[in-house]
Structure 1
């Protein structure tokens, strides 16, 4: 799939493969260098989620055969209004620092959300910047209805069917790898 973009050499978005693992590691290390959890945390998280079999959607953006971005959506354990629902957590998404701000992360997230819809996933959660994720449909108001260790102003959720009613309440737990991240 090829996203529409603001520039003519938009990267191709495709499913990540085992051969992409080192490039994915490098992207997350570069993108998260100097952050609170450091460059190692996101790369370790991706490997643990993959090893646990909890990855639902893992996509890369490649330009001229070089992987320049990655997004991962993992399985979540979510209960809404007393029933289990299919859910996914977005984390992490990274783009090589020199290519950030060009729409690559946006294209990866949108392609990932489309793939989740095709899998029948009902809701997605993210812990991130309140100025960035609402453009995709994520809402802190929806997430506030769910008990979670990550609850707070940066915890957001979205219904993947925009016509679906918001649950009144529930519980949202990320994949076990998130609890092992140090």
Structure 2
């Protein structure tokens, strides 16, 4: 089992993994694979933070972090990333692959000097990685979402001190 940076020759396979991971899920629009493609073509794409999980030479999982801004009162905090999406083939879900990708991405983002991550996700899953409601820092999503589902993680102690405002995602998220 290997976690590595996604390469251009992986793109088609990765998109198939993402599509399969979200197929039939009631909480999404089944186009996450297109989001991944759009993000790769955006200015917010960080190639080193597009990760794949391989098992026996086959890609079975993918995670993407992309640049965001947290805007407030005419200023912005530009050292944060969005964690989205995390995808694991249905046949491989429940085996810790998503958790391994998340942990690896946290360490990789920290090593690259980013200060925080945000995620829209399950309120019982992401806290085990250290995520807390983003509202704790006065950080808001750009859309209506229950407070407990929109979370942030400091990549260094105090890195979100004094940061507040509304997250601005890549235009790629708008389709």
For residue 34 of structure 1, the aligned residue among 24, 36, 41 is: 24
CA offsets 1:24-80 (integer angstroms, 9 cap, x no match): 1111111101123343x1100000000113222100000111001000000102246
CA shift, 1:20, in A, is 0.7
- Normalised TM-score (structure 2): 0.88
Tell me how far apart the structure 2 counterparts of residues 117 and 70 of structure 1 sit (CA, whole Å): 19
Tell me how far apart the structure 1 counterparts of residues 4 and 143 of structure 2 sit (CA, whole Å): 30
What is the match of residue 43 of structure 1? 33
Per the alignment, do residues 12 and 140 of structure 1 end up closer, same or farther by CA in structure 2, a change over 3 Å counting? Answer: same
What is the match of residue 171 of structure 1? 166
Instruction: Give the secondary-structure state (helix, strand or coil) at the position aligned to 1:52.
Output: coil
What is the match of residue 155 of structure 1? 150
- Normalised TM-score (structure 1): 0.84
Per the alignment, do residues 163 and 144 of structure 1 end up closer, same or farther by CA in structure 2, a change over 3 Å counting? Answer: closer
What is the match of residue 127 of structure 1? 120
Q: Is the 8 A contact 2:70 2:164 kept in 1?
A: no
The aligned length equals: 169
For residue 96 of structure 1, the aligned residue among 81, 89, 102 is: 89
Tell me how far apart the structure 1 counterparts of residues 35 and 87 of structure 2 sit (CA, whole Å): 13
Tell me how far apart the structure 1 counterparts of residues 17 and 160 of structure 2 sit (CA, whole Å): 37
What is the match of residue 7 of structure 1? none
Tell me how far apart the structure 2 counterparts of residues 83 and 178 of structure 1 sit (CA, whole Å): 19
Q: Is the 8 A contact 2:134 2:150 kept in 1?
A: no
Q: Is the 8 A contact 1:62 1:69 kept in 2?
A: yes
What is the match of residue 62 of structure 1? 54
Q: Is the 8 A contact 2:121 2:150 kept in 1?
A: yes
Q: Is the 8 A contact 1:71 1:93 kept in 2?
A: yes
Alignment RMSD (CA, Å): 1.9
Q: Is the 8 A contact 1:127 1:150 kept in 2?
A: no
Bigger fraction of residues in strand: 2
Uncovered stretches (5+) of structure 2, i.e. residues with no partner: none
CA shift, 1:22, in A, is 1.3
Tell me how far apart the structure 2 counterparts of residues 26 and 122 of structure 1 sit (CA, whole Å): 31
